Amino acid sequence: MSIISVKDVSFSYNEKKLGLKNVNIEIKKGEWIAILGHNGSGKSTLAKTLVGLLEPQSGEILIDQVLLNDESAYELRKKIGIVFQNPDNQFVGVTVRDDIAFGMENLCIPREEMLEKIDFYAQKVGMKEYLDKQPSNLSGGQKQRVAIAGILAMHSDILIFDEATSMLDPYTRSDLIEYIKTLNKEGLTIIMITHDVNEALLADRMLILNQGEVYAFEATNDLLKKPEVFRECHLELPVALEVASKVESQKIKEKLWEYVLTK
């Protein structure tokens, strides 16, 4: 049963340029998907069409078997949380606390509950000491953490991260990834847009976009065996895979693949 199905979706910002070309995707509940692609390949565009912020010129999108359109968008958005690329332009509140609360306020969550959740998620992203700070006093990575906390607090079924961990320090990032793993085990569907191949390796399946088209959408362990796909799309390969593509022995190859996946 697909929680997201994208059927033959095309989208263009203007006549000259197609943002997405005939995209077909099926994502099952509880899956972890990584979306990879060069700059301008349409990753953010796809994410925005999935939450109904951009309306495709053709094709249709179903979220939980419900057609996404202007009327259903408000209801469907409650199921999807998205963290955008630029943390500065999604900071709505005057303080960190206000910003984490914003989404919950819109969902009409009672105040007491909000306070508890703010504490919990601020702790999770390591921003508890900053709750009363204003965004102008925060670093880019700190704003990113706040944005993530604000989305996590809304308890959506599907989480989309559009390069949302790009500014985090390695320590915070791996902490957060661990937490996302537990959420994924609890049944949340995770979609991670990233330029970091190591982060993408955590996914069950990888979606590789190239010039607005789906270049590959396969299980991670299958894709690992096709380094040429990465090269053709100008993507970075983990060192171990680079090595694997060079060695002859099938045995060493398998060892290396295994190593990459368990890391």
Partner 1 sequence: MNSIIIGQYIPGKGFFYRLDPRTKIISVLFLMIAVFMLENITQLSIALAAAIFILLIGQISIIKVAKGLRAIFVLLIFTFVFQIALNTEGKILSQATLHFNLYSVLAIVLAFVFWRILLRLGKFKFLLFLAFVFGVYFILRYVGYGTDFYSFSLTIYEKGIEMSVFVIVRILIIITFTTVLTLSTKPTDLTHGIECLLRPLKKIGFNSEDFALIISLSLRYIPTIFDEAQKIMAAQASRGADFSEGKLKDKLKQIISLLVPMFIIAFMRSEELADAMESRNFVPGQSRTRINVLKFSMIDVYSGVFTLLCFAGAIVIKVI
Ligand X SMILES: Nc1ncnc2c1ncn2[C@@H]1O[C@H](COP(=O)(O)OP(=O)(O)OP(=O)(O)O)[C@@H](O)[C@H]1O
Site residues (vs partner 1, CB under 8 A)? 48, 51, 53, 74, 77-78, 80-82, 84, 86, 88-95, 97-98, 101-111, 114-115, 118, 134-137, 150-151, 154
* Least distance to ligand X, CB of residue 213, Å: 12
Kindly tell me which of 43 and 77 has the beta carbon lying closer to ligand X: 43
Rounded to whole angstroms, the Cα distance separating 119 from 76 reads: 27
Strands 2-12 and 58-63: antiparallel
Pick one of 9, 32, 44, 138: the residue that binds ligand X (CB under 6 A).
44
Answer whether 151's CB lies under 8 Å from 81's CB: yes
DSSP bridge partners of 161: 83, 192
Q: Is 250 in the site for ligand X (CB under 6 A)?
A: no
Choose the one of partner 1, ligand X, Mg ion, none that binds residue 56, judging by a C-beta under 5 to 8 angstroms depending on kind: none
Kindly tell me which of 49 and 172 has the beta carbon lying closer to partner 1: 49
* Least distance to Mg ion, CB of residue 48, Å: 9
Joined together, the tokens standing for residue 148 give 């993530």
Of 40-48, 63-71, 116-124, 164-172, which part binds ligand X (CB under 6 A)?
40-48
Could you give the maximum distance between any two Cα atoms of the chain, in Å? 62
Among 201, 219, 207, 188, smallest CA distance to 3 is for 188
Segment 96-155, which members bind ligand X (CB under 6 A)? none
Choose the one of Mg ion, ligand X, partner 1, none that binds residue 261, judging by a C-beta under 5 to 8 angstroms depending on kind: none
Q: Is 40 in the site for ligand X (CB under 6 A)?
A: yes
Q: Is 37 in the site for ligand X (CB under 6 A)?
A: yes
Q: Which amino acid is located at 153 in the chain?
A: A
Kindly tell me which of 40 and 140 has the beta carbon lying closer to ligand X: 40
Among 116, 198, 183, 104, smallest CA distance to 151 is for 104
* Least distance to Mg ion, CB of residue 75, Å: 26
Rounded to whole angstroms, the Cα distance separating 222 from 103 reads: 38
Rounded to whole angstroms, the Cα distance separating 91 from 169 reads: 20
Residue in the block written with tokens 């306070």:
115
Of 24-32, 33-41, 149-157, 232-240, which part binds ligand X (CB under 6 A)?
33-41
Q: 3-class SS at 63? A: strand
H/E segment holding residue 229:
helix 227-232
Half-sphere exposure of 49 (CA within 13 A, CB side): 29
Kindly tell me which of 33 and 154 has the beta carbon lying closer to partner 1: 154
Segment 44-103, which members bind Mg ion (CB under 5 A)? 44, 85
Number of residues written out for the chain: 263
Look up 163 and say whether it is catalytic: yes
Considering the candidates 26, 31, 129, 163, report the single residue annotated as catalytic. 163
Q: Is 56 in the site for ligand X (CB under 6 A)?
A: no
Rounded to whole angstroms, the Cα distance separating 238 from 260 reads: 8
Catalytic machinery residues: 163
The site for Mg ion (CB under 5 A) is made up of 44, 85
The site for ligand X (CB under 6 A) is made up of 13, 17, 19, 37, 39-45, 85
